[in-house]
Amino acid sequence: MAGDTRMREARMPIRVVQYGLGPIGCAAARAVVARERLQLVGAVDIDPQKIGRDAGEVLGVGRILGIEVAATLQAALQQSAADVVLHTTGSFLDVVGGQLAEILSLGLDVVSSTEELCYPWADHDQYAQQIDRAAVQAGRTVLGTGVNPGFLMDTLPLNLTAICFSVRHIAVTRVIDASKRRGPFQTKIGAGMTVLAAGKETNGEHIDIAQKLFDAVGKTLVLDEKHFDAVTGLSASGPAFIYVIIEALAEGGVKCGLPRDVSTALVTQACLGSAQMVSETGMHPAILKDHVTTPAGCTIDGLLKLEEGGLRVTLIKAVDEAARRAKELGNE
């Protein structure tokens, strides 16, 4: 009988709660959904835009999973019991230590992407001992799977050159497509735009220093103060206008039968790619538009509808109105 019970347990899927639904967490959860031996039974995130939504919608798997994203782990466990938590909320032990302790206190195993769990005793001996004691007391395990890119860039050459008699030179280059990474990462590596204006007592050296500082977080332009209201109307208010365009295009995809998450993903990537083309090629948008508009094709018909709806004029007026209001606020 005991053997039969063990066989039944071995055939049962492992019940998983996904803790953290950022880009890494969503990727991990999608991997769980795709595997027969794993069963996603819960999802946790602090983002108000995700709480209460179906996990399938948030993950973009194209179907409803019947799992409501919860704000806390305990709330998620009220929906279903679980065996293990996939934890993907942060890289540093001093930030996520309380979360790991909570998971263990609820009698669950932990698989975490926290990078400092690779060898926590190096810099966080106290946290490491606390987590170890909590795991032993709960009779559960904590598995760290996160790898810092810097660690990998050191370890990989060491392993690859282990069979070499002599190593004279090693060069490691890390290449990342930032367009596919999360927003905070894009900001970190410099995907912003800063506009500078020289004051009365400012000289060229001062501008050079300021430009070098702000170049570290993105692109920098130096303009006359008289242009700043227009900059506000275009650059500061522009993202809101673009969000409306993205939303409208996504609605068009839904109208044509696409799931909302799929439609939004397609539009987002189209906008990223289009902006990148304008930035990298330096070509006028009208020329790039012509490159993707074939004679008597579907795109030209769609463009005709945009012209009929007055999209071009409406956007021009939106920027002009926002700039006008920026000037009013500056005079108050």
The helices-and-strands tally (H runs, E runs) of the chain is 15, 7
Tell me how far apart the alpha carbons of residues 252 and 265 are, in angstroms, rounded to a whole number: 13
Tell me how far apart the alpha carbons of residues 33 and 18 are, in angstroms, rounded to a whole number: 11
Per-residue model confidence as pLDDT tens digits over 81-134: 999 999 999 888 888 888 999 999 999 999 999 988 888 888 888 888 989 999
Q: Structure pTM?
A: 0.54
pLDDT of residue 187: 53
Tell me how far apart the alpha carbons of residues 119 and 139 are, in angstroms, rounded to a whole number: 21
In 3D, which of 114, 122, 121, 106 has the Cα closest to residue 143?
Answer: 114
Residue 181 DSSP code: S
3-class SS letters over 229-292: HHHHHHHHCHHHHHHHHHHHHHHHHHHCCCCHHHHHHHHHHHHHHHHHHHHHHCCCHHHHHHHC
Could you give the angle at the alpha carbon of 18 between the alpha carbons of 15 and 24, nearest 5°? 135
The string of DSSP codes covering 119-132 is STTTT-HHHHHHHH
Amino acid at 172: V
pLDDT of residue 308: 93
pLDDT of residue 93: 85
Q: How far is the first Cα of the chain from the last one, in angstroms, to the nearest whole number?
A: 83
3-state SS assignment for residue 223: coil
Q: Where are the domains of the chain?
A: 11-144, 180-217, 238-331
Four-way CATH pick for 238-331: 2.60.40.10, 3.90.1170.30, 3.20.20.190, 1.10.3730.10? 1.10.3730.10
pLDDT of residue 209: 83
pLDDT of residue 189: 53
pLDDT of residue 154: 81
Amino acid at 273: G
Tell me how far apart the alpha carbons of residues 258 and 261 are, in angstroms, rounded to a whole number: 8
Residue 75's contacts (CB-CB under 8 Å, 6 or more residues apart) are 44
Q: Digits of tens for pLDDT over the chain (332 positions)?
A: 555 555 555 578 999 999 999 888 999 999 999 999 999 999 999 988 899 999 999 999 989 999 999 999 999 999 999 999 999 998 888 888 889 999 999 999 999 999 888 888 888 888 889 899 999 999 999 999 987 777 777 888 888 888 888 888 887 766 555 555 555 555 555 566 777 777 667 778 888 888 887 776 667 788 887 888 888 888 888 888 999 999 999 999 999 999 998 999 999 999 988 988 888 888 899 999 998 898 988 999 999 999 999 999 999 999 999 989 888 877 76
pLDDT of residue 12: 86
pLDDT of residue 174: 62
pLDDT of residue 191: 60
Domain 11-144 has CATH 3.90.1150.10: no
